Chain A
Amino acid sequence: MSDDVSAKVSRIIAEQAMVDAADVTPDKTPEALGLDSLAIVEIVFAIEEAFDITIPYNANDPKDSDFDISTVGGVISGVKTLLAEKG
């Protein structure tokens, strides 16, 4: 299941960044993938729709959000946490 989540999140990010899914490794930052703030908001939306979760993300001050978007790995573990809370 956890691999599924990683794969699905990576696919969403890859699609938005217009890169190959294989390049979306856990250590990659949004900057490294060429994602601007608008692209990140779109990714958050796409992930919410894909997993039926609500991500506490404030585009106005990403560092202040209760959701780590600093790396791909951070996003994946955040999604897993939200899925676990959802039960």
Chain B
Amino acid sequence: MHRVAVTGIGVVSALGTGREAHYAGLAEGRCGIGPIELIDPERLMIKIAAEAKDFRGEERFDRQELLLFDRITQMALVAMDEARAQSGIEFDEALGLRTATIIATAMGGLHTCDENYRTVYQEQKNRVHPFIIPRLMANAPVSQISMKHGLMGPAWSVSTACASSNHAIGQAFHMVRSGMVDAAVTGGTESVLCFGGIKAWEGLRVMSRDGCRPFSADRNGMVLGEGCAILILERMDRAMERGADILGEIAGFGATADAADIVAPAVDGAARAMTIALTDAGMAPDEVGYINAHGTATSLNDKTEAAAIRLALGPAAERVMVSSTKSMHGHAIGAAGALEAAAVLMALGRGIVPPTINHAAPDPEIGLDVVPNTAREARVDAALSNAFAFGGLNAVLAFRRWQG
């Protein structure tokens, strides 16, 4: 069993392109949610989202690349470059053979599907571009990263709706910890912010028309986001040996299924995932200083999650800081856990706990310290990050501050 270091992270989100823009937004409590601008909102009922407005693929990739890269692949390649540069890791052939690439996406290349369904159904064209399949397939981000960086170890995509990123990171963590690989490239990438994608979410009627207010008494639903975060994981001893800057340690992973309902969350399954993550990490509940909540701002999720946190942490739940950064970067679905891992690494590494913004009034059914509206300076030694997917699939990561 090896300890697992995070040595690099790259981010694209509604808070900006690049890790520092994301961190600055989280620390300022800036809201990345606004009127939809990247597509025509004409026939949409929900007209707000957290779009990564300054991320434009055509400014970063040439024509031939754009034919092969859906927006999720574009964001993943950019985030990967940033993560690799920060870690300073060099993927020579020997390390490339011993590096895993495990990247999440819940929906795959949805923009590509949307555009080409429009071509064949609406425009009645009988033929589409030859690269539609390699562009839309869910493993395209994995494959393009592995090809560009020479990563030849185990590689696949993970898809579990809103928990996709945490499952991917958890799996990559297990691979490094067990010694199956020496390093892993992991995280998640997602953009469902195309016409058909937003329409599908509208159908469920759980979206807010006016904002994302997790844990607030006046919350009225989720707001979609998009983005990508890529993490570089390494065996701790190897990272230390090469003098890498260690951003934090992944210490545990817990995953469960509610086996109950296709959309409604359950207290028990969520609490079990947290407990398993704590046990896996050898972490006592009162060590946990911060929980990055799933916190979707639906009435049911936030209430259920608060109860699950109490069940898993016991009396320590009354002291722990809990925030939902979805209030700022929106709900990035399959990329959510990766964007939130970035928030956790900021809390651990920089001592800045990101807030839950748009908090108008406490909800007596929540009653936790949700770090309302303003970031807090605090030393955090241990943290959890929660992700609970539709279909009752729960995934929780446990992190420790690197005290080397």
Contact = CB atoms under 8 A, between A and B. Distances in A.
A38 interface: yes
A57 B207 CA distance: 11
Contacts of A57: 205
A37 B264 contact: yes
B222 to A, nearest CB: 8
Given A41-B204, A44-B205, A60 B220 contact: yes
A4 B205 CA distance: 27
A60 B264 contact: no
Q: How large is the interface on A (under 10, 10 to 19, 20 to 34, 35 or more residues)?
A: 10 to 19
B372 interface: no
A37 B206 CA distance: 11
Contacts of A38: 262-263
A25 B291 CA distance: 48
B205 A41 contact: yes
A60 B221 contact: yes
A83 B31 CA distance: 38
A45 B204 contact: no
B299 interface: yes
A57 B298 CA distance: 14
B180 interface: no
A61 B220 contact: yes
Contacts of A41: 203-205
Nearest to A44: B205
Interface in A30-58: 37-38, 41, 44-45, 54, 57-58
A22 B298 CA distance: 35
A19 interface: no
Contacts of A58: 205-206, 220-221
B327 to A, nearest CB: 16
A59 interface: yes
A35 to B, nearest CB: 14
A64 B220 contact: yes
A64 B220 CA distance: 9
Nearest to B45: A54
A60 B262 contact: no
Find the residue from A38, A44, A45 having the highest chain B CB count within 10 A: A38
B38 interface: no
A60 B300 contact: yes
Interface string B245-270: 00000000000000000111000000
Interface string A47-87: 00000001001111100100000000000000000000000
Contacts of A60: 205-208, 220-222, 298-300
A60 B300 CA distance: 7
A34 to B, nearest CB: 15
Contacts of A45: 203
Contacts of B300: 60
Contacts of B264: 37
A60 B296 CA distance: 11
A61 B216 CA distance: 13
Nearest to A40: B205
Contacts of B298: 60
Interface of B: 45, 203-208, 220-222, 262-264, 298-300
28 contacts: A37-B263, A37-B264, A38-B262, A38-B263, A41-B203, A41-B204, A41-B205, A45-B203, A54-B45, A57-B205, A58-B206, A58-B220, A58-B221, A59-B204, A59-B205, A60-B205, A60-B206, A60-B208, A60-B220, A60-B221, A60-B222, A60-B298, A60-B299, A60-B300, A61-B220, A61-B221, A61-B299, A64-B220
- 4 shortest interchain CB distances as A-B pairs: A59-B205, A60-B221, A60-B206, A60-B298
